[in-house]
Amino acid sequence: MKTLQQLIYSNRRWAEWISARDPNFFQKLADQQNPQYLWIGCSDSRVPANEIVGLMPGELFVHRNVANVVVHTDLNCLSVIQYAVDVLKVTDIIIVGHYRCGGVKSALMREKQGLIDNWLRHVQDVMVKHERILAKIEGFTEKWDRLCELNVVEQVLNVCQTTVLQEAWERRQDVTVHGWVYGIEDGLVHDLGFSVTNQEELTAAYRNAISEERQKVVWE
Ligand code: CO
């Protein structure tokens, strides 16, 4: 276990390392940030946003919560999305779930862990919505992984249905919403193939993302 003092020491070495490569790096960032992407991911310590996709400070706008859920009335997440789209003008919003997500597992097993159960109720809603798909999967791990994917699909849909995206698309702003799942066990990002660029293609893209054929493709 590292002490807090060790963390501060590590920070000093990290800042020196960056500055050695680019002496003006931090000064340039102090003036403004200009990220192209918004990452909405899980709080899980094994899924550090910037590291996974090799992006430096200033390149990724990030929102994380347990089980990467986008709730229609969550002012925190909505504000992040609104600022990213309207002010920073990001071109891509990526919902990044991950396999072996503890939050998704708790929802699947209906575990009792306190206040968090209320938050994970949103994942249980996803589970109920896709009961038919999940019922056909026998192994627990396979079912768990599939729920991780379906949860991402539903959160992509939720982002697309926010007033922020609806209005951005109405004025023909270039912003695409994507669904990815990160593999804890291999360090690789998997694109679910559910990317939405405008309102017109949303329904068909969603249907494709949850179709039976899609399910087979994922597991082959
Ligand atoms: Co997780």
101 is catalytic: yes
pLDDT for residue 218 is more than 70: no
How is the chain split into domains, by residue range? Answer: 1-31, 34-209
Residue 180's DSSP bridge partners are 96, 191
pLDDT for residue 211 is more than 90: no
Both tokens of 168, joined, read: 């951005």
In the chain, % of residues over pLDDT 70: 96
* pLDDT bucket at 220, cuts 50 / 70 / 90: very low
DSSP of 124-190, one letter per residue? HHHHHHTHHHHHT--SHHHHHHHHHHHHHHHHHHHHHTSHHHHHHHHTT---EEEEEEE-TTT--EE
User: What topology does CATH give the domain 34-209?
Assistant: Beta-carbonic Anhydrase; Chain A (3.40.1050)
pLDDT in tens, 14-73: 999 999 999 999 999 998 899 999 999 999 999 999 999 999 999 999 999 999 999 999
Q: Which of 63, 77, 101, 122 is catalytic?
A: 101
| C-alpha 120 – ligand 1 centre gap (Å) | 11
145 is catalytic: no
pLDDT for residue 1 is more than 90: no
pLDDT for residue 214 is more than 70: no
SS (H, E, C) 20-50: HHCCCHHHHHHHCCCCCEEEEEECCCCCCHH
pLDDT for residue 105 is more than 60: yes
pTM value is 0.94
Q: Which of 46, 64, 100, 190 is catalytic?
A: 46
C-alpha Rg value of the chain to the nearest Å: 19
Angle at 141 between CA 109 and CA 103, to 5 degrees: 45
| C-alpha 10 – ligand 1 centre gap (Å) | 26
pLDDT for residue 219 is more than 50: no
121 is catalytic: no
